[in-house]
Amino acid sequence: ARYRRSVLGPFWIVIGTAVGVVGLSFIWSGLLKVDRETFVPMLAVGLVVWQFIAGCVTESPSAFTRNAAVMRNLKTPYLIFPLQLLLRHLINFAHNIVVVIVVLIIFPPPLGISQLLIIPGILLLLGNLFWIAILFGMLGARFRDLEQTIGVLIPLMFFLSPVLYRPDQLGLMEKFIWLNPFTYMISLIRDPILGFAPAPFVYLVSAGTLLAGWWVTLWLY
């Protein structure tokens, strides 16, 4: 419905992402002194995953408040609104995968069994984003400043998250990047796509966050 009567329709999403990948790769590959065969696939996957994560997190505080009229007038499960938010951004994510496919055709990664780890990675990512959407939705309904606070912090987190780089490229600073929860979310998807198996602690932390996050969210719900 958003792109009705436009020529390209939802593929305007793809064009925006493709322009971002081309522009950022042209500038940052030179600044970081990384060859484009390595940098462009890393950036493309990282940027697409980041857009998915950032979109879900940014809109989560308003998941219930924007549907207040529906909640007051229709008898419907409350959790359908965070689920709707997650699915909407998942559709955008699926469109942006086109950019990743094109980049991987131009700069093919090594193929192996590591690519199969995408499946548990995407399941862990979706599970964590779902409870975040519910939790932030409840907190945002009570504390209206949460939406603006997250909106201010997300652009900063873009540079503090390994979108433009891999954690192992930071040297002594690598241990600090793992204090960022977005690092685990990005690694779950990007590393398998590029032919690397994420470290076991990435799955352990992500699974622990999934269990703890759902426990707190359901208790508060």
**What's the pLDDT band for 135 if we cut at 50, 70, 90?**
very high
The dihedral over CA atoms of 22, 43, 194, 207, expressed in degrees to the nearest 10, equals -150
Q: How far apart are CA 218 and CA 221, in angstroms?
A: 5
Condensed to tens digits (0 to 9), the pLDDT of residues 76-126 reads 888 999 999 999 999 989 989 999 999 999 888 888 888 899 999 999 999
> CB atoms < 10 A from the CB of 48, how many?
27
Condensed to tens digits (0 to 9), the pLDDT of residues 13-66 reads 788 888 888 888 877 777 777 788 888 889 899 999 999 999 999 999 999 999
* Angle of CA points 148, 149, 153, to nearest 5°: 115
Condensed to tens digits (0 to 9), the pLDDT of residues 159-180 reads 889 888 888 877 778 888 999 9
175-200 core/surface letters (b: 16 or more CB in 10 A; e: else): eebbeebbbbbbbbbbbbbbebebee
User: What local confidence, expressed as pLDDT, does residue 219 receive?
Assistant: 95
Tokens for 7, please give them.
């020529």
For the chain, what is the largest distance between any 2 Cα atoms, rounded to a whole number of angstroms? 57
